[in-house]
Each structure stands twice: as C-alpha cells, then as structure tokens.
Amino acid sequence: MLIPPVLYGPCIRFNQENGMKHSRPIVIKLGTSTLTQGTKKLCRKKMLDIVRQISILHEQGKQIVIVSSGAMAAGREIMKDPKLDRLLPRKQMLASVGQVHLMHIWSELFALFDIVVGQVLLTRDDVSNRKRYLNSRDTLHSLLKHHVIPIINENDTVATQEIRVGDNDNLSALVANLIAAEYLILLTDQGGLFTADPRLNPTAQLIPLIEKIDANIYRLAGKPSDALGQGTGGMITKIEAAQLASQSGTSTIIGSSNHPDILLDIVAGKSVGSRFLATTTLRESRKRWLLSEKPQGKIVIDHGAAKHLMDAGASLLPAGIIKAISNFERGNIISIESETHPLAVGITNYSSSEIETIKKIHSQSIEEVLGFSYGPEVVHRDNMTMIK
C-alpha cells in the first residue's frame, strides 16, 4: 500500500546543540508493555510520569500526538477477566470496554496539567482511502491547532481483518505520515536496537544510529516476544514502522520507557535509544508520490492563477479556475493546467462538481455558496508539485 506524504511546513533538522527544533509534530507511541510495566493492569504511576514529560513538551510549544495501546489490557482489568483470547470478536469486546476506561485515565491525568485531550480511532481504511485520509488529517491538524493532544488507537471494535493495521507500531508510522511528523518516538521496555538480545546476551551493545534499514537490521530484531501475550508487536514491528516512517521523511527513535525523562532527553537532543534516520525529505517523498500517480481529472486555470503558481509558489484558489474536467472527488490527484499545457499535479480539496460551483469566486464566499468549506484553497501549495 502506497501511503501519500503530506507536507505541513518546512523541515527543520535535528540539531545536537539545540535539540529537536521543528515546526512539525512529534508522534509518541506507547505500547502495552510500557503502560502495564510487565503486569496485567495499567500502571497509573508510569502513565502519570509520561503525562508529566509530555506536559513539559506541550508547555514548550511542541505539538504532540500520542498513539496509545492498552485498550484490551484495560478491558480485561474492568471485566476482571485475565483470559487471553485470540478470537477477534472477544478482542473487540474487550477493546470496546477498555477504550473508554483507558481514555478516562488519560483525560484525568492530563487534566492535572490543564491539558485537554481528544480521542481519535483509526483503521487502515482511514489512511488508504484518500477522502478519509484528508478528513483524518484535517481533524488531527485542527486538534493540534487548538492545543489539544490527540490520543489515537486503532478502531478495534469495528476493524475487520482486511482493514486492520494489526499493531500500533505500524499505526503510529501511518499517523506520522498522516500529519507529516518530524519524529516518531517508539517507547518500549528495551533501550533500543541491540547487536543481540540484551536479555539473553550480556555483551549485547546498543546501536545508537541506523542510517539504512536492511536485512541485517531485521535479523537483529529477532522474533516477536511478549511474555504476557498482551501486545501485538515486538522489535520487528518497530523496525517496520521505522522503515515506513523513514520513507515518508520522518526519523524514528526507539527508546526505553524506563529511562528517566526519556521523552525530554530525546527532544533535547541527547543520545538515548536507537535513532533511525529518514531516507528522504518529506518534500522529495511527496513530489515522487504525486508524479507517480495518474491524475483523476483536470482543473483549467486562467493566466493570472498560472502566474501565481509558477512564480510565487501560491496555492490554487477558486477565483482563478476556469473549469473542472472529468468527474473526481475530494482527495483525488488532479492535473492543474493552463489553457495550453499542464503546470502541476496536486491533491484537490474539492470535488469536480463543487469546483464547478465555486469557480471564479473569492475564497471567503465558499461557505456561503456551498454551505460548507474545506478551506480557502482548492489545492494547497503543500499538496502540489510543479511539472517542469
């Protein structure tokens, strides 16, 4: 599955002296082993410590998104049922009960620091279907804009095998792609990726920096392991997540939740855990993806709009549109053309029928004409690449 990269702002790289300076969000994935601390119940003490660290980052102006496991563990705690059943309907039942309990705990803990959280449940369909992709992205973007911390989990109660991501490591990578995150932090019970299993080999050494993920890296990851059977991942799924994130322009850090102030140290630029470098910039990834896809339709624009796109790198507004050609939906990739030749390709925020309704009008009139608005731009400049 090809996941589209979307750019929100300029990429500001990691700086050892100044830590993580960025204008893009940080995704933090918290696994079941972290939240339960090796037991069969959620560890409130550990959760509070994580909230404390995130509250400091939040106060510093960092945009934080949490991908939280633990719903089924919370469900077993509420139902007083430690049985580990592999049947999907039973798992979905436990997740349904546990998700409410889990979010209640998160909400209460963050409230101690006057931080509002919002729950977001996703399936693979929400990031592979372009229309849902845009809707999910816009929701997360709006939460962050209003200083709300999104807490995300897979929608286990409705997800079938076909649309399940399957583990929150890969879900967190998809979320990192969805919001164009600068960093993905995967907290676990291990200090990072080692040359051997440190639980079995006392001479195992931490690998602090991984520039390229290959077969050797996967071999070092070993096999999925969870003594209590509560998690769905392991080091392999974390490597998979790091690889997916790196291809979208996001660097990944795997670190131990038991390291004191682990999140603060990572964001401060200290050398902790294993860091997987992004293999491309977000802009390059986005451009390659847009140019590789077949446009579903065309938008023909006038000379003034074409000049703004070519010379100023502007977004496409409805005022400069002459017409839409072919039937296409919001979220489709379309070709942007002058009356003589193609200029760019991009992701449209409006369907062809909506564009025909709002063409040649000012952006502030969109809501009045349509009864709703997805924003002032028909195609945002960050979701557009020029054709040379």
Please state the residue numbers annotated as binding site for ATP: 29, 188-189, 232-238
35 within 8 A of 151, measured Cβ to Cβ: no
Q: Is 61 exposed, middle or buried (0-12, 13-18, 19+ CB in 10 A)?
A: exposed
The CA distance from 188 to 224, in Å, is 13
CB 67 within 8 A of CB 173: no
Element (H, E) at 344: strand 342-347
Residues 173, 185: Cα–Cα separation, whole Å: 10
Query: Which residue positions form the known binding site?
Result: 29, 69, 156, 168, 188-189, 232-238
Closest CA to 314 of 301, 331, 333, 330: 301
Other C-beta atoms lying within 10 Å of the C-beta of residue 203? 8
Tokens of residue 385, six digits: 């690449």
DSSP secondary structure code for residue 120 in this structure: E
Q: Which residues pair with 186 in a beta bridge?
A: 29, 254
Stated as kind and residue range, the H or E segment containing 29 is: strand 26-30
Contact 198, 204 (CB under 8 A): yes
Residue ranges at the known binding site for substrate: 69, 156, 168
Q: What is the layout of strands, in order, in the sheet containing 333-337?
A: 321-325, 298-301, 333-337, 342-347, 384-386
Give 268-295 as a DSSP string: TT---SEEE--SS-HHHHHHHHHHHSPP
∠ CA 189-195-199, nearest 5°, is 40
Burial grade of 70 (CB within 10 A; 0-12, 13-18, 19 or more): buried
The answer to whether 158 and 123 have CB atoms below 8 angstroms apart is yes
3 state DSSP class of 34: helix
